[in-house]
Amino acid sequence: MTTQQPAPLAQIGVVGMAVMGSNLARNFARHGYRVALYNRTAAKTDEVVAAHGDDGEFVPAHELAAFVASLERPRRVVIMVKAGGPTDAVIDELVPLLEDGDIVVDGGNSHFPDTIRREAALREKGLHFVGAGISGGEEGALNGPSIMPGGPAESYAALGPMLEEISAHVDGVPCCTHVGPDGAGHFVKMVHNGIEYADMQLIGEAYDLMRHALGAAPAELAQVFATWNQGDLDSFLIEITAEVLAQTDAATGKALVDVIVDQAGQKGTGRWTVQAALDLGVPVTGIAEATFARAVSSSVPQREAAKDLPGHAGTWEVADADAFVEDVRKALYASKVVAYSQGFDQIAAASAEHGWDIDRGAMARIWRGGCIIRAKFLDRITEAYERTPDLPLLIADAYFAEAVADGVAAWRRVVSAAALNGVPAPAFASSLAYYDALRADRLPAALIQAQRDFFGAHTYQRTDKPGTYHTLWSGDRSETQA
Ligand code: 6PG
């Protein structure tokens, strides 16, 4: 008589079989894990198994209870559904089926306050909740994303090795590490996206300036970006820019970029970054300009109404095209350093406020591969934070200070030429203004303090002695100590 062996349990489960979820499940399977699958519409689960069964061992389930029952303990469930309501709906359905010590991972682009709330609620029930930022799009999910998991450190012990294994690797080092408690992972992913916005806007401005100044065709500029990708600017976004600019539209024979409507969309992570920065009081001007530049592009009635407003009427004369291209490259690099510096300031501020203890050097390290902002120069950022873990300003690190100093004259030439020729370069200009503001001996903030004191008795401090002061503006204008 033979006894039937129970089916082996799955080591990890994925809920949500849209492209990110199914690709992540396939990535786990390809690394030898037995992966439980569940999707609200069962047919989708079956499709994934039918199409990709060869990737490894899948345990498909049509009911959530069967899915949960097919997982080994502590259960590891990765939710890959739309952020917001749909994520809460899955959590609500899942939680009653789970037991003490089980781990729920939210791999979506969730807003970090939601992650803080969910982590607290699940902790009350004896469950671990891990808000994990996952970057790299569909391709990254399948072949190795950058993973930014937050949540309790104990859950990282059970989960981290698996996540590290399926993440991208650079020089043999995984692009995944424990970021910090509760919402830390999703916060860092949010800032990653904010930096992504800034990076994309800066590249867009560089392209637009060269187009206007040199009258160059997109295909010629594709060459410029391809060359830039061999140097300090080596990054995924520069690489794809070269590919996009080289693309011809099959229907019209024109450059594809010329037939795409120039109104940039957004799903909200850039906006969240700016909102959080405002709450923290951290000036992320590069990310904010990039987010607003997308909004300006989509301000259709305003753009229409502005069509005939006066501006620069002449042609942009550039004496030395190669020198101009090099100036733009330097301006782009310097502005990019500013955007990252600001993003890391925001991470430091949130880490201090929430007690997350985030290691900024480690964040730069896990962004080196797999994610949208992956770039060579992230190595330099890691090195800077390794040299000085509590570095107050990334651009003050010796390496970056020198890099920016090398580009500052070019940066000024590019920003002033853009203004003189009526071409918008908001992210370039605002990054330079931020740099100059930080360098300034004195800022007009002193005047603002005096104005505030004048109309609202908001008081001010003096440069020459301690204390808080108020001038009797509507009286005899003598000064009082508050
Ligand atoms: C990633 C991306 C990804 C995405 C965002 C931003 O890291 O894989 O950041 O999260 O592209 O959805 O998209 P929007 O530009 O639509 O806000």
Task: Quote the ligand 1 centre to 373 CA distance (angstroms).
Answer: 10
Residue pLDDT, tens place only, 24-41: 999 999 999 999 999 999
Atom of ligand 1 nearest to the CA of 146: 7
Q: What is the mean pLDDT of residues 262-269?
A: 95
415: left (phi over 0), alpha (psi -120 to 50) or beta: alpha
Q: Pick from 161, 146, 191: which is nearest to 11 by CA?
A: 161
**Whole-number mean pLDDT of the chain?**
97
pLDDT greater than 70 at residue 111: yes
pLDDT greater than 70 at residue 102: yes
Q: Are 272 and 238 in contact (CB under 8 A)?
A: no
Ligand 1 close to Cβ of residue 382 (< 6 A): no
Query: Which amino acids are annotated catalytic?
Result: 189, 196
Task: Quote the ligand 1 centre to 9 CA distance (angstroms).
Answer: 34
Categorize the per-residue pLDDT at 2 as very low, low, confident or very high, splitting at 50, 70 and 90. Answer: low
Ligand 1 close to Cβ of residue 372 (< 6 A): yes
Atom of ligand 1 nearest to the CA of 264: 15
Atom of ligand 1 nearest to the CA of 270: 17
Would you state the structure tokens that stand for residue 65, as one six-digit string?
Answer: 């209870």
pLDDT greater than 80 at residue 290: yes
pLDDT at 193: 98
pLDDT greater than 60 at residue 358: yes
pLDDT greater than 70 at residue 3: no
Environment class of 309 (CB within 10 Å of its CB; exposed 0-12, middle 13-18, buried 19+): exposed
How far apart, in Å, are the Cα atoms of 133 and each of 94, 105, 112, 178, 238? 20, 10, 10, 11, 23
Ligand 1 close to Cβ of residue 351 (< 6 A): no
Task: Quote the ligand 1 centre to 270 CA distance (angstroms).
Answer: 9
Ligand 1 close to Cβ of residue 193 (< 6 A): yes
Q: Looking at ligand 1, which residue's alpha carbon is closest to its atom 7?
A: 135
84: left (phi over 0), alpha (psi -120 to 50) or beta: left
pLDDT greater than 90 at residue 7: no
Residue pLDDT, tens place only, 410-427: 999 999 999 999 999 999
Query: What percent of the chain has pLDDT above 90?
Result: 97
- Using CA atoms of 296, 299, 301, 306 in order, give the dihedral in degrees to the nearest 10: 0
Task: Quote the ligand 1 centre to 276 CA distance (angstroms).
Answer: 17
Categorize the per-residue pLDDT at 147 as very low, low, confident or very high, splitting at 50, 70 and 90. Answer: very high
Would you state the structure tokens that stand for residue 445, as one six-digit string?
Answer: 């903030």
Query: What percent of the chain has pLDDT above 70?
Result: 99
CA geometry: angle at 390 spanning 182 and 353, to 5°? 35
Q: What is the mean pLDDT of residues 11-25?
A: 98
Task: Quote the ligand 1 centre to 193 CA distance (angstroms).
Answer: 6
How far, in Å, CA of 353 to CA of 357, rounded? 10
Residue 261: DSSP 8-state: -
Residue pLDDT, tens place only, 311-354: 877 889 999 999 999 999 999 999 999 999 999 999 999 999 99
pLDDT at 473: 98
Q: What is the mean pLDDT of residues 284-297?
A: 98
- Which of 80, 176, 269, 287 to mutate to test ligand 1, by most ligand atoms within 8 A of the CB atom? 269
pLDDT at 313: 73
Residue pLDDT, tens place only, 204-261: 999 999 999 999 999 999 999 999 999 999 999 999 999 999 999 999 999 999 999 9
pLDDT at 6: 72
Environment class of 334 (CB within 10 Å of its CB; exposed 0-12, middle 13-18, buried 19+): buried
Task: Quote the ligand 1 centre to 314 CA distance (angstroms).
Answer: 38
Q: Pick from 432, 350, 441: which is nearest to 395 by CA?
A: 432
Ligand 1 close to Cβ of residue 201 (< 6 A): no
Ligand 1 close to Cβ of residue 199 (< 6 A): no
